[in-house]
């Protein structure tokens, strides 16, 4: 395993380009299973979760070809094994995304229960209950979920008991080839859902309402190939915006979509961070000497993203006053707090709330990443801490951030990657 070694204390300066969204690329890759024609995808980030999904598609029988640095061509004409085995998907939560397209196109699917970050429950029963309403028969045994619909799926009205992003995406992919109309109520409104709907529409699907809480899908008999560019990664963009703020830097964040993470931008401006948009898809981030503590509560989009909570908490350790950070999405997403405390942060956990007192002078320490976004928060803390910080188990970060070390180094950070014994 690898670790990051960071010598903190430098303000970040320069320009950083944002990669394609990992959380968009995963369902878009899964959607390639819906057609026997080639699909060409641009701006695919080179991260571990994406490589795992590509490996899974190839295992099923799809021809997966990398054309250039961030372009992938998927041709799923000859799917011989409509299944996702544990050996491939044990480290990736998004394996459940292939349930819908496999059941929709082939009438059968077998998917191992997903793995990934241990940040709390992501109940796959929301996916399976929706598929059952479309006529699929669901069987769960030996850690696998099997869906069968030998006569095809049929449209229905599905109301999610709670908002689920991957559940919305999975059901949308299943419904595009179902007979009749499907209505998904209490649907997720994330930009990644809209991006998937845009690709499916290019492939011949009939979808309206993506980006709202009610999505209507009129089933079609067949989808065709298409070409599509993935949206920018709003979580990576938000992470670099916070990195500029926490180090009191001056950074241009390019190739982003500010509308996708406005909730964070609003909070940072309230905290005293200067954020301007000198041109389309570009943010300039500057922070002065003083930051104000501002409360934040994670919510479904367009609310404050749970995937930015850990990074925001790191920033609040440097702000004047008390900030209350409330986590409403996942029940176990404060595992980074004890590691930040090892660096000198003052954080008290009370149920789903973290009370952060600042500003605190952080000092370098040996810390351990527990999940993808927690690893980012520890790196951000290391950038502002005095002395040397060692962040172990950065394979978590490799799952979702493309060339994080290189991008930070390009902004002047003193950061290097080394082999770890942990």
Beta strands in 44-97 (DSSP E): 63-66, 72-75, 83-84
* Rounded Cα–Cα distance for residues 282 and 275 (Å): 10
**Which residue in this structure is represented by tokens 């994080």?**
404
Residues that are catalytic: 117
Give the span between the Cα atoms of 172 and 194, in whole angstroms.
11
- Our measurement of the distance from residue 210's CA atom to the centroid of its chain's CA atoms, rounded to an integer in Å, reads 18
How many CB atoms within 10 Å of residue 124? Answer: 21
Map residue 245 onto helix, strand or coil: helix
Provide the β-strand partners of residue 350.
Answer: 353
Query: For every one of its 422 residues, what pLDDT tens digit does the chain have, with 9 covering 90 and above?
Result: 799 999 999 999 999 999 999 999 999 999 999 999 999 999 999 999 999 999 999 999 999 999 988 999 999 999 999 999 988 888 776 788 999 999 999 999 999 876 544 433 446 788 899 999 999 999 988 888 999 999 999 999 999 999 999 999 999 999 999 999 999 999 999 999 999 999 999 999 999 999 999 999 999 999 999 999 999 999 999 999 999 999 999 999 999 999 999 999 999 999 999 999 999 999 999 998 799 999 999 999 999 999 999 999 999 999 999 999 999 987 778 989 999 999 999 999 999 999 999 999 999 999 998 887 889 999 999 999 999 999 999 888 888 899 999 999 999 999 999 987 75
67 exposure class (CB count in 10 Å sphere: 0-12, 13-18, 19+): exposed
What is the spatial distance between Cα 407 and Cα 53, in angstroms, rounded to a whole number?
24
**Domains of the chain, start order:** 2-19+232-419 (3.65.10.10), 22-229 (3.65.10.10)
Place of tokens 């962040």: 391
DSSP secondary-structure letter at 224? -
Structure tokens at 313: 């908490």
Supply the angle between the helices 165-175 and 191-202 in degrees, to the nearest 10.
10
Judged by DSSP in three states, 319 sits in: coil
Backbone φ, ψ for residue 359 (5° rounding): -85, 150
Residue 59 CA to residue 192 CA, distance in Å, equals 25
Neighbours of 120 (CB within 10 A): 13
59 close to 88: Cβ distance less than 8 angstroms = yes
Cβ pair 104, 175 in contact under 8 A? yes
pTM greater than 0.85 (yes/no): yes
Tokens of 69: 């640095």
**H, E, C per residue of 13-56:** EEEEECCECHHHHHHHHHHHHHCCCCEEEECCCCCHHHHHHHHH
Nearest to 254, CA basis, from 50, 11, 14:
14
d(CA 75, CA 208): 26
CA 252 – CA 271 distance, rounded (Å): 19
The three-class DSSP label of residue 89 is helix
What are the tokens at 327? 């986590």
């Amino acid at each position: 395993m690898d670790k990051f070694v960071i010598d903190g204390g430098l303000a970040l300066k320069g320009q950083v380009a944002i990669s394609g969204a990992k959380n968009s690329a995963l369902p878009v890759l899964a959607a390639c299973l819906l057609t026997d024609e080639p699909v060409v995808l641009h701006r695919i980030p080179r991260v571990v979760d994406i490589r795992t999904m590509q490996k899974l598609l190839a295992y099923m029988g799809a021809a997966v070809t990398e054309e250039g640095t961030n372009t992938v061509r998927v041709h799923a004409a000859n799917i011989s094994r409509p299944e996702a085995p544990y050996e491939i998907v044990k480290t990736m939560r998004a394996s459940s995304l292939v349930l819908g397209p496999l059941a929709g196109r082939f009438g059968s699917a077998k998917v191992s229960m997903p793995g990934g970050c241990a940040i709390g429950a992501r109940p796959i029963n929301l996916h399976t209950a929706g598929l059952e309403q479309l006529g699929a028969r669901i069987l769960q045994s030996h850690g696998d979920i099997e869906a069968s619909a030998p006569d095809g799926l049929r449209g229905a009205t599905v109301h999610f008991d709670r908002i689920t992003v991957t559940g919305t995406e999975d059901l949308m992919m299943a419904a595009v080839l179902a007979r009749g109309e499907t209505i998904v109520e209490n649907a997720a409104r994330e930009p990644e859902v809209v991006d998937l709907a845009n690709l499916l529409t290019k492939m011949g699907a009939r979808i309206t309402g993506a980006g709202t809480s009610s999505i209507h899908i009129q089933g079609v008999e067949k989808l065709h190939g298409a070409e599509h560019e993935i949206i920018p990664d709003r979580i990576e963009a938000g992470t670099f915006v916070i990195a500029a703020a926490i180090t009191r830097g001056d950074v241009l964040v390019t190739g982003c979509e500010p509308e996708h993470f406005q909730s964070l931008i609003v909070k940072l401006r309230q905290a005293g961070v200067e954020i301007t948009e000198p041109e389309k898809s570009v943010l300039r981030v500057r922070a002065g000497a003083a930051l104000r503590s501002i409360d934040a509560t994670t919510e479904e989009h367009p609310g404050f993203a749970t995937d930015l909570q850990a990074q925001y908490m790191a920033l609040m350790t440097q702000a004047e006053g008390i900030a209350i950070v409330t986590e409403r999405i996942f029940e176990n997403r404060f595992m980074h707090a004890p590691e930040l405390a090892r660096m000198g942060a003052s954080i008290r956990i009370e149920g789903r709330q973290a009370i952060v007192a600042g500003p605190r002078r952080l000092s370098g320490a040996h810390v351990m990443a527990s999940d993808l976004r927690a690893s980012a928060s520890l790196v951000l803390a290391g950038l502002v801490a005095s002395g040397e910080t060692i962040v172990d188990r950065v394979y978590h970060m490799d799952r979702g951030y493309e060339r994080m070390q290189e991008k930070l180094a390009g902004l002047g950070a003193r950061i290097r990657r080394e082999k770890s014994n942990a």
